[in-house]
Every structure is written in C-alpha cells, then in structure tokens.
Amino acid sequence: MSVLGYTIKRLLQMVLVLFAVSVIVFLMMSFTGDPVFMVIPIDSTAAEIEQARRLLGLDRSLLSQYFIFLGDMLQGDFGRSYVFRQPAMQLILERLPATIEMVLVAITLATAIAIPLGVYAGANPNRPVSRGIMAGSLLGISLPGFWVGMMLIFFFSVRYPLLPSSGRGDTVEVFGLRLSIFTADGFAHIILPALTLALATLAIMLRITRAGMMEVMRQDYMRFARAKGASRRSILFRHGLKNALIPVVTIFGLQLGDLIAFATITETIFAWPGTGKLLIDSIYRGDRPVIVVYLMLTAFIFVAINFLVDIVYTLIDPRISVK
Amino acid sequence: MADPLLEVRDLRTYFHTFGGVVKAVDGVSFDVRQGEVVGLVGESGGGKSVVGFSILGLIDPPGRIEAGEILFAGENLAAKSEEEMRSVRGGEIAMVFQDPMTSLNPVYTVGHQMDEMLRLHTDLDRKARRARCVEMLEQVGISEAESRLDAYPHQFSGGMRQRVVIAIALLAGSRLIIADEPTTALDVTVQAQILKLMRRQIVERGAAMIMVTHDLAVISEMADRVVVLYCGKVVERGRTAEIINAPSHPYTRGLLDSIPRIAERRDRLDQIPGTVPDIRTLGKGCSFRDRCFRAQPVCAEKTPVLSPVRGSLDAACHFPLEETAP
C-alpha cells in the first residue's frame, strides 16, 4: 500500500477514535452534576435557574445535547469556559506551549541519558556499573514524581538556592508562542520541573533499551560485525541499537503523550502555568467545557503520536511496511 | 617449503563455567599454507568452531585463550591487543559464518554492509567502493548486482545471502578465510554451488582457507589437508586423500563409516557407539577410549601423543590402524 493510501486510512481511523472519545467524554461529563450551578449567582430564584438551564440547552434530551455538542465541535466551536468566559480551546492553546516546552526538555533529557546507559548496561550486563545503572533505574521507576519534585525543590531551591522552584520565569515570543527556554531566567525555571518529569521516563526507556540490547547482543550479525573489524562503538550503536530500537520508540511515543497530557502533578508542584494545571483547576471548579476540550485534545495527541511512531517503525526496520 | 601463513601452536581455549572448566580447545596445533584449504573436522562440541573464533580473538568471557601461539605471517595474534586485532579482522583474516539467515544485519542494505568492510579496511572513495561491491557480487554469482546492493537481506534467499556473506569476506582481500560450517544451513543443491564458489574464489586469489565442518563429504571435496578434533584435541591430521582412504585413528574411521552412501545399500548405518563424553570430567588417558573398538587397558593409563604414523598422517593413538585395516 502506498504511503498516501496508508496516511488516509490512518486519518480515517483517527476520526473514528476521536468520535468514540467524544461520546465517552460527553457521557461521563453528564454524570458529574448539574453545571447550571456553576454559572448562576448563588442567590438565584428557581425561575432564573430554569431560564439559565434553557439558555444553556440543558433542558433538552441527552441525545440532542450531544448532537449540538458534536455539531458545534465540527464547526470549531468547543464551548466557553464557565469560569473564564472565554473559548475553552483558546484557554488550552494559550497554555499548551508552556507544557510542551517543558515536556520536550524532559523527554530529550531522558532519551539522551537513557539510550547510552541502556546500551552500556545491555552490552555489559555483568559489570558492577551496569548493576548500578539498573538499581538506579528501579529507583527512578518507583519514586513518585511529586516526592522527587519536592526533594528537588528542597535541595536546589531551599537548602542550596541555585534554581527557582516556581513559575516560568522570563518568556520571549518565538513564532507567536511565548517560550521560556530561550531566556536565561526561563531556562533556569525549566530545569527542575523537566528533571522531575524526565526521571520516570528515563528509567523506563533505559530498561527497555537494555532488554533490547541484551537480546541483540546474542545475534550472529553482531559477531559478524566484530569479525569484520568494526569498532566496539560502531558494533553497539550502529549494528546493535538500531535493531533494539522498535520497543524503545514505542515507549517513547507513549511517554511523550503521557507527559504532555498528564504533567498535572509536576505543573502543580512547580506552579508551572501549563495545561495540566489548567486541567486540575477546571476539575476543581467543575468547568465542563475545558475538561471536555482537554480530553479531546489529549486523545488527538495520542492518536497523532501513534501514527508518527508507526511511520518511524518503517524507517528503522525495512521488514516492517506500512499496511 | 615456504613458511606457513598460519601456525597454531598448542592453542588452549578454556571456558570457565559454574560447572567447571571446559577445555574446549586443549593443545591444538596445525599449519595453514598459502593457497591451501585445511579442514577442521569433528562432532558437535569437539571444539572446532572455538579454534576459528580463537584465531580472530572473538572469544568472550567466560572463555579465554589460556596458552598457545597463533602465528599469522610471523606475528602472534594471541598476544595482540583488541585494537590491533581490529585491523586483522576482516582485513588479513575474514570469516564466513554458519547461518546466512542470521549473519547479515536485517536493518541495513546489503550494499551498506559490504561497504562497511571496504570503509574499514581500504582508502577507496565512495564511488570506487561501490564499483568494487558490484564487481564482487557478480563474482559470487549474483545477477543485477547494481540494483541488488540496495536490497535488504530479507529480500534474498538463504543461498544468495551466503553468497553475499562470502562476498563480504572476500572484499578486503584477506589472506585467510575462516569458514565455520558455511553450508550446513543450506539446501544440498545450493551447498555444492557455494562450496565450488568458495574454493574457486579463494584459491584463485592465492588466499588460504580454514574450513570448519562436521561433514567429511564436504572436506573430501574441498580440503587439501584435514585436522580431526575430538574433545578439544587433535586426534589425527594429514593429507585429505590419505585420511579419507585409510585413516589411522579409530575415531576418524568411525566418522567415515557413519557417512551414508547411496551406492551400497545398508540396512543400518555404522555409527560410533556412545556419545561425546563430558569435557569437564576428562581425566588422563585417551578421551575416545570408551567408544573405541580397539581400546586396551593402556588407553586409560596414558594419554596418547600426536605422532607420525605413516605417509603424511599423524595420529594420537596407541594402536593406530594399518592401511589394510578392514
């Protein structure tokens, strides 16, 4: 199948998934209490409540409410936040760059450390250093992110005040996006939250890389590469790593989606004004439109990342074709 | 006679396992002269592959070369550092592996893997390297070589992959090729083609070859001289024709008798009784004695030493077979 045909097929799948998600999200939201109390003044009369309900369309059947919701969404109208009285999508998109830049720093950091260490530990499984790496990675998986975040703040902001622990710092506008990473102050602000986010991903990717390398090390082509006179570095990273990379890319994709969608705890700890913080605030305030859009966007991000991951598979292993 | 290209002197490669020390290669000596094919023969577990890997320094822990010299063109490979061995591997000495289905890297094109050999061991530029790869693929009998260079290993059949592996081994002009059971994994009809190809390509270049195999039929076709290994020791060596016609060691005799022949129909194949003993628990005496039809009490007392028997044959046996033996 051609790449174009494949892409079209995947796009159709993506639409289906998003449709299913919209149904689930809508149903779940309709069970979470009456939103009318979010919008009316606390001393409203019964008639005023009734009128607000009619204005919001909450008096109609669930099915017709869903179709209004779906129809509006298809026209690009995702509803307005009850709290901010602004379009919900705009609210999220304003905060998305903050989350994404933090996540990208975190995942780059995690990958840059996890892959070399994983290759080393997989190629020399019996060395003390490898055992140390593996023990460390177990720690990285087990320690909860909020605790790590608090410890980092305690050591690097309180005990030794080297790095800021709260907010984004100075931002600068790049291509219409407000980013912290390009200013010195912003960069200092991004380090601790990114480190907190990176830790678990680093540990998982390291372990996956190591497992893949241990499997690959046993293969004949690795010995053949040695018999050709290739350097150890080239044997490990060119011949070995590429063969061990498929599961690593899978985990990378899942973790990337996970970090973007659910950086909530880290953003809360470091008062990072990203989407995660917006989500948690919206849940507390019962701000239904924001939650719905957020979940739809999350589903979209996951589906899109998965699509890219599948494309990357075919670039890594010629035996995998787009089907 | 000219100095041998390769002299293996009293090579000992041991594996230190939890169950004890496995003396996979225990005092093996033989020579390989230029332009010659030497066969290393024996049953599975006889240590023949380990000899090949020892020569290239590809023995990994828990294995180790304990003693002995591997003199290649006068230099002792066993004493070289890993870095020095890198230029020997693929450059001076190349290797062909047993299973062509697994010895090529699945995620790189055939051309890339051939090119790597030339990048490592020559100064040719990209264009010259590509031309050389095309030429080499044609020489091992792969048609449309130019376009096949961009194909991946999984797009080749087993026989074609082994041709590619052989082409890679020959690319950098190595003087010695070590072939470890190069045709065992292939169909019989393809086997014959590949063997002919290897013999022609290697001998015509004036290179030498060590052919590791359990298959005496292959040896009789290919090798000039044979070294028979049993439990890590050389039990017999000599010119191929003499060994095939009238072996002097009972083990070699047993190996020859267990080859099925179509011409003479027999109800049962002759086989060597028993199995290879546990190499970790070998004591003194001849390791073959429990399976040998000529064994005497002395065989358990004294380990036989490799010594001339007749013609070109050396054997490690207290009671070597006569030429007229049944």
Q: Above 80 in pLDDT, residue B236?
A: yes
**Mean pLDDT per 10-residue run, chain A (323 residues)?**
77 88 85 72 81 80 85 84 86 90 94 95 91 92 90 91 84 79 86 92 94 92 90 91 93 92 87 88 85 88 89 87 66
What are the boundaries of each domain within chain A?
3-74, 97-316
Mean confidence (pLDDT) of chain B = 85
In Å, how far is B281's CA from the nearest CA of chain A?
27
Given CB atoms, is A321 within the 8 Å cutoff of chain B? no
Chain A residues with CB-CB distance to B56 below 8 A:
227
Contact (CB, 8 A) for B93 and B32:
no
Asked, as a colleague might, if the bond just before A128 is cis with ω within 30 of 0, I would say: no
Give the list of residues 6+ apart from residue B128 with CB closer than 8 angstroms, or none: none
Can you give the pLDDT at residue B266? 61
Supply the DSSP symbol for A31. Answer: T
Residue B23 tokens read as 């003396």
Q: What are phi and psi of B16, to 5 degrees?
A: -95, 95
How many angstroms separate the CA of residue A168 from the nearest CA in chain B? 43
Residue contact B90–A219, C-beta within 8 A:
no
Render pLDDT for B180-201 as a digit per residue (tens, 0 to 9). 888 887 788 888 888 888 888 8
**In angstroms, what separates the C-alpha of B18 from chain A's closest C-alpha?**
15
Higher pLDDT pick, B307 / A123: A123
pLDDT at residue B325 tops 50: no
Residues in chain B with CB shorter than 8 Å from the CB of A319 are 106, 152, 154
Residue A195, token pair as written in the block? 């480190």
Nearest to B150 by CA among B167, B130, B128, B126: B130
Mutate to test the interface with A, among B105, B110, B149, B155 (most CBs of A within 10 A): B105
CB A95 within 8 A of CB A273: yes
Note whether A154 contacts B: Cβ–Cβ < 8 A.
no
What are the chain A neighbours of B84 within 8 Å (beta carbons)?
none
Check CB contact of B151 with chain A, cutoff 8 Å: no
Instruction: Measure in Å the smallest separation between the Cα of B120 and chain A Cα atoms.
Output: 7
What pLDDT is stored for residue A255 in this prediction? Answer: 92
Contact A243 B88 (CB under 8 A): no
Q: Alpha-carbon distance A210 to A204, whole Å?
A: 10
User: Mean pLDDT across the stretch B230-235?
Assistant: 88
8 Å CB contact between B292 and B220: no
* Nearest CB to B121; choose among A229, A239, A316: A229
Is the model's pLDDT at B267 over the cut of 70?
A: no
Residue B180, SS3 per DSSP:
strand
How confident is the model over B199-216, as pLDDT tens digits?
Answer: 888 878 888 999 998 888
Q: Do B165 and A224 touch (CB under 8 A)?
A: yes
Tell me whether B121 touches chain A (CB under 8 Å): yes
Type of residue at A255: Q
Task: Find the CB nearest A316 among B97, B104, B107.
Answer: B107
Tokens of A29: 């939201």
**Do the bridges between strand B307-310 and strand B313-315 make them parallel or antiparallel, or are there none, so unpaired?**
antiparallel
* Least CB–CB distance from B97: residue in A220, A242, A319: A220
Kindly list the distances between the CA atom of residue A12 and the CA atoms of A3, A239, A304, B37, B243, in Å, as whole numbers in the listed order.
Answer: 14, 37, 12, 62, 71
Substitution target in A127, A228, A239, A319 with the highest count of B β-carbons within 10 Å is: A228
From A221, A317, A318, residue closest to B104, measured CB to CB: A221
Residue pLDDT, tens place only, B245-259:
888 888 888 888 887
A223: chain B residues, CB-CB within 8 Å: 58, 97, 103
How far is the C-alpha of A284 from the C-alpha of A294, rounded, in Å?
14
DSSP A72-86: HHHTT---B-TTT-S
Residues of B in contact with A217 (CB under 8 A): none
Q: Rounded distance, CA B95 to CA A228, Å?
A: 8
Q: What percent of chain B has pLDDT over 70?
A: 94
Q: Which residues of A touch B86 (CB under 8 A)?
A: 229-231
In B91-110, the residues whose Cβ lies within 8 Å of chain A are: 91, 94-95, 97-99, 102-109
**Residue A227 and residue B90: Cβ atoms within 8 Å?**
yes
Q: What mean pLDDT comes out for the span B172-179?
A: 89
Topology at the third CATH level for domain B6-92+176-188+204-315:
Rossmann fold (3.40.50)
Quick check: A124 contacting B, CB < 8 Å? no
CATH code that applies to domain A97-316 = 1.10.3720.10
Q: What is the pLDDT of residue B268?
A: 63
Average pLDDT of B57-71? 87
pLDDT at B326 over 60: no
List, in order, residues 6 or more apart from B234 with CB less than 8 Å away. B27, B28, B29, B30, B227, B228, B306, B314, B316
- Calculate how close chain B gets to A245, using CA atoms only, in Å: 11
Residue to substitute from B50, B103, B121, interface A, most A β-carbons within 10 A? B103
Nearest to B102 among A219, A230, A317 (CB): A219
Q: Say if A249 is an interface residue toward chain B (CB within 8 Å).
A: no
Position B296 confidence tier, pLDDT thresholds 50, 70, 90: confident
Give the closest of B89, B107, B117 to A226, CB-based: B89
Per-residue DSSP letter, B89: B
User: Cβ of A184 under 8 Å from any chain B Cβ?
Assistant: no
B104-149 pLDDT per residue, tens: 999 999 999 999 999 999 888 999 999 999 988 888 888 888 899 9
Joined tokens for residue A104: 């990208």
Q: Is B195 on the interface with A (CB under 8 A)?
A: no
